[in-house]
Structure 1
Amino acid sequence: MPTNVEDFQAMLAAWADQIVTWAQSPVFLAQLAAVIAAVILAPLLAGFIKKRVPLFRATPAEDAKYLKLRQIIFKVGGFLRAILLVVLLAIFASILKSVPSLGQDWLVKLAQSLAVVFLVYRAIKVFITDPLYSKLAIWTLIPLALIFVLGYFNLLTDFLDRTVLLPMGDSPITAMTVAKLGIFGSLFFWLGNLSNSKGQSAIRSQESLDVGVREIVAKLFQIVLFGVIFFLVMGAAGIPLSGLVVVFSALGLGIGFGLQPIAANFISGLIILFDRSVKVGDFVVLPDGQQGFVEAINMRSTTVETADGKDIMVPNTKFTEEAYENWTHKDPSQRYEVEFTVSYDTDLDSLEGILIPEIMKYPKLLTEPELPDLEFRSFGDSGINMAIEFWCDGVDDGANKFTSDIGFIIWRTLKANKIEIPFPQRVV
């Protein structure tokens, strides 16, 4: 035990001597002054810039031009102090290295490393809201930032370049290739999703084009965009196009064994878009009886929104392999009917003259291709079964909305003319 105490005391004494040495060293004192100056100047400069730049002060309005860019600038203002601290420390480190009598910047570099960790952490928390992606970014970007600041980035890249994962002639797949693939893939596909969203919105807003044509152009734009992005990522990662033969061979094998449904749905989606058997806005009745409006035709599935607001994700193959009803394929006009029963005492010859004029007042009624008419259906147990057939433009809530309105008109008209709607009865 005494030996351990003596060793500890000796270590403390060594540290004390080192601190005294640093305190007497102009080189150390200059670095310490640089760090203190950066810590003091960063908040002062940040406050000065925020006062002079309105974009950092107020949250951008929803109708502002370049809203996304303004929102990013406003969020950057939240950690502007950390950005300036890193920049100031980098400037002071360069100044110290350029002065022959000083020539050291290790303390400033250490402070800069801590500032970079804080800056990257704040940026991740502000811009990446998903918990999984946030953790992934923290455990990858912060170490990379530290390696870069400390000057070991070239050593890391050399090590990754020498680590061969898959020999491919003159252009093997290395750890650096995989790293570039991950970095550039994430960046390009993020930009691709943003461009795809903006591009498809712009295409679908072209009122001069038919809805079906807009949908086809939007999907072609999506395919071409991501195809270009794919080749850009391959080029940025350093993977030669000849090496893609291996990738496509593996992909073809995967499709043959396990991805047939996905490939079939993808091809079916293209068929639907080009033959236009189903279009966005059509009202369809599916084989299982579910019905609704087509909201979107995607690469794998078609979204059908029901009358109660629920979305049904229907595989595209359902529309190419099975029978279904499309109420608005050629013409949005639909024929509906409302059945009702009147008593056997009713004068049927006058019934049409009573009902049809009232139904003709319905504002959504069509007179083409046929006028509304009254039809005799059958002799029922309790009365005579009749029906009104009529045409309306489009589909509201399936058949429910129009038939409900006409049903009310029939009810009021029969009651006003004292025509009995019989209850079930039997003569024994």
Structure 2
Amino acid sequence: MEQQSELISKALGWLDQASDIAAGWLLSPAAWSQFALLVMAYLAARLVTARLLPSLRRLLDPAETQSLLATARRFGLRFLPLLLPLAAYALTAMGEQVTRQLFGSGEVIAFGKRVFLFLAARIFVRDVLTDSFLKLLGKYVLIPVAALYMFGILEVITAQLDQTIVALGNIRFSVMALLRGVIAGGLLFWLGSWSNRTSAGYIKAQEELRPATRELAVKAIEVAIFGAAFLLLMSIMGIDLTAVAVLGGALGVGIGLGLQQIAANFISGIILLLEGQTTVGDYVQLDGGEAGIIVKMTARACVLETFDGKWIVVPNEHFITTRVVNYSDQGSANRYEAAFSVAYETDINRIPEIIEAAVGALPFVLQAPDGPDCELRGFGESSVDFAVEYWVSGIDDGKNKYASPVLFAIWNALKAEGIEMPYPRRVVEMRNV
């Protein structure tokens, strides 16, 4: 209660002081001359802005190109609404210097200068900023700070916040340091996220790099950006970095005792990215039965997408400690086979030539490393069993369907030659009917 009454008394004192200053300005001839200078500075700023804006728009308006210079010029166009308040601020600052040298006072014109700066802050938040987080930060941080500065009480409030201490156990913070840390942390981690997205997009666009190299570079830059942001935030908040070192040691002990699997998966992820034997886009099958296309590789796990649309999250450690079958290996060919049977009455010596020609005519069947190969597999109960092996560039599922066209080709080739594909036949003997 005592602290609240003290704040109320201070606020009332500020109001009384402000009313006295306003009354003095209204009755002072020097104040009226400064008001006149303010009006002249504003009118001169409008005149300068009206002359400069068309030329600046023509200079900054780029052609329909996507070059870096054109992007920078489009970015510069967004700042043109700030020209009027900043020009008024600059002219007012020059007028303030003149009045202080001639008359020894310039409070009115100094207040007007701060008003123009406040208007510039409002226009900056309203018209220049486009990111939702930055708009929120400008609305609730930049504009209030500019308003306090305009009324000349920013230093008083910051001093009061510096003296107000918040205790969390043995750790003591001033309210000002806490607010500074929250604002700086928000800005730093927004900047880190933006830098990470920009750098990741640029790296992933470099097609000459292997996919694994691109993923490793993206992860390394992400760790470096957010690590630097964290250390810079600790420095801004005034936290001794030796405490961070102690915390890192404690975290290392925690990893050694309770987070072994997370640490193992993280190291396994780095090994996978360095080796490059398994990367995004590969179709893999693990010993545990998990199979799918790798669509994402994170620091902890790989995400497999099955051909029926399901996502399987597989820890990175499984790719290191178990056997992994990689069907893709960055686009290598795969061999498949299709089984079929013919009747015993068939001249089986003709079958390989007929089937190899029919399967080899399919557009997706490769002739290297080997063309179609029809093999005799055995003599069944009611048929002679064959299988044809063929090579294709891809996986037989999902968007690729190789087995079905191959079986259609076998059926049509046998039918065209009049060769029967038998079905089981039984002789039934009836006794004591």
Q: Aligned match of 1:75 in 74, 78, 93?
A: 78
Equivalent residue number for residue 140 of structure 1: 141
Distance 2:376 2:260 in 1: 53
**2:279 paired residue number:** 279
**CA distance in structure 2 between the aligned counterparts of 1:49 and 1:284, rounded to whole angstroms:** 63
Distance 1:164 1:348, change over 3 A: farther
- Conserved in 2, the CA contact under 8 Å of 1:79 and 1:122? no
Bigger shift: 258-267 or 138-147?
Answer: 258-267
Where does residue 238 of structure 1 map in the other structure? 238
TM superposition shift of 1:356: 0.4
In 2, are the aligned partners of 1:113 and 1:146 still within 8 Å (CA)?
no
Q: Aligned partners of 1:379, 1:104: CA distance in 2, in Å?
A: 109
Matched, 1:65 2:74: no
**Residues 89, 113 of structure 2: 8 Å contact kept:** no
Aligned partner of 1:316 in structure 2 is: 316
After superposition, where does 1:29-178 map in structure 2 within 5 Å? 29-37=32-40, 39-42=42-45, 44-54=47-57, 58=61, 61=64, 63-66=66-69, 68-85=71-88, 87=90, 92=95, 95-100=98-103, 103-105=106-108, 108=112, 111-112=115-116, 114-123=118-127, 126-129=129-132, 134-165=135-166, 174-178=174-178
Structure 2 counterpart of 1:357, which letter?
A
1:402 is aligned to 402
CA deviation after TM superposition for structure 1 residue 21, in Å: 8.8
- Kindly provide the CA deviation profile for residues 338-357 of structure 1, in whole angstroms up to 9, marking residues without a partner as x: 34455666543312111202
1:325-366 alpha-carbon deviations (Å, 9 max, x no partner): 422349823111234455666543312111202323445444
Correspondence list, 1:347-358, <5 A: 347-358=347-358
Q: Could you tell me which amino acid in structure 2 is paired with residue 241 of structure 1?
A: L
Q: Deviations over 1:356-405 (max 9, x none)?
A: 02323445444455442224567789976643221223447559433344
User: What whole-Å deviation, never above 9, does each CA across 1:191-236 have from its counterpart, x for those lacking one?
Assistant: 4444444545555566665443444344334434443443334334
Aligned partners of 1:374 and 1:387 also within 8 Å: yes
1:88 is displaced (CA, Å) by 5.0
8 Å Cα contact 2:396/2:403 also seen in 1: no
Corresponding letter in the other structure for 2:146: A
Name the structure 1 match of 2:266: 266
Between the aligned residues of both structures, percent identity stands at 32
The match for 1:393 is: 393
Partner AA of 1:273 in structure 2:
L
> Is the CA contact 1:97–1:104 (under 8 Å) kept in the aligned structure 2?
no
Task: Write the mapping of 1:190-269 to structure 2, written as runs, cut at 5 A.
Answer: 190-200=190-200, 210-248=210-248, 251=251, 263=263, 265-269=265-269
Given that 2:118 and 2:143 are in contact with CA atoms closer than 8 Å, whether structure 1 keeps it comes out as no
Shift of 1:190: 4.0
Find the aligned partners of 2:265 and 2:119 in 1 and give their Cα distance.
50
SS of residue matched to 1:281: coil
Q: Structure 1 residues 154, 317: CA separation in 2 closer, same or farther (over 3 Å shift)? A: farther
Aligned partner of 2:12 in structure 1 is none
Alpha-carbon distance in 2 for matches of 1:81, 1:422: 91
Partner SS state of residue 107, structure 2: coil
Q: Distance between the aligned counterparts of 1:153 and 1:394, measured in 2?
A: 67
- Matched residue count: 406
Q: Which residue of 2 aligns with 1:9?
A: none
Asked whether 1:291 is paired with 2:295, we answer no
Structure-2 separation of matches of 1:69 and 1:388: 61
Cα distance 1:144–1:68, how it changes in 2: closer, same or farther (>3 A)?
farther
Contact 2:291 2:304 in 1 (8 A): no
| Aligned counterparts, 1:5-16, within 5 A | none
8 Å contact from structure 1 (residues 332, 395) kept in 2: no
Residue 75 (structure 1) shift:
2.3
* Alpha-carbon offset, residue 256 of structure 1: 8.1
Corresponding residue for residue 373 of structure 2: 373
Q: Residue 388 of structure 1 aligns to a residue in which SS?
A: strand
Relative to structure 2, which stretch is displaced further, 207-216 or 248-257? 248-257
Pair 260,401 (structure 1): closer, same or farther in 2 beyond 3 Å: same
Could you tell me which runs of 5 or more consecutive residues in structure 1 were left unpaired when the two chains were aligned. Answer: 1-17
Q: How far apart, CA to CA, are the structure 1 residues paired with 2:92 and 2:421?
A: 91
Q: Secondary structure at the match of 1:391?
A: strand
Call closer, same or farther: CA 1:220–1:128 in 2, change over 3 Å.
closer
Asked if 2 retains the 8 angstrom alpha-carbon contact of 1:86 and 1:115, the reply is no
* Paired amino acid for 1:121: V
Q: Which runs of 5+ in 2 are unaligned?
A: 1-20, 429-433
The question of whether the paired residues in 1 share the 8 Å contact of 2:60 and 2:73 is answered with no
Q: What secondary structure does 1:336 align onto?
A: strand
Are residues 175 and 407 of structure 1, via their aligned partners in 2, closer, same or farther at CA, if it must alter by over 3 Å? farther
What is the CA-CA distance between 1:32 and the residue it aligns to?
A: 4.0
Structure 1 contact 177–237 (Cα < 8 Å) conserved? yes
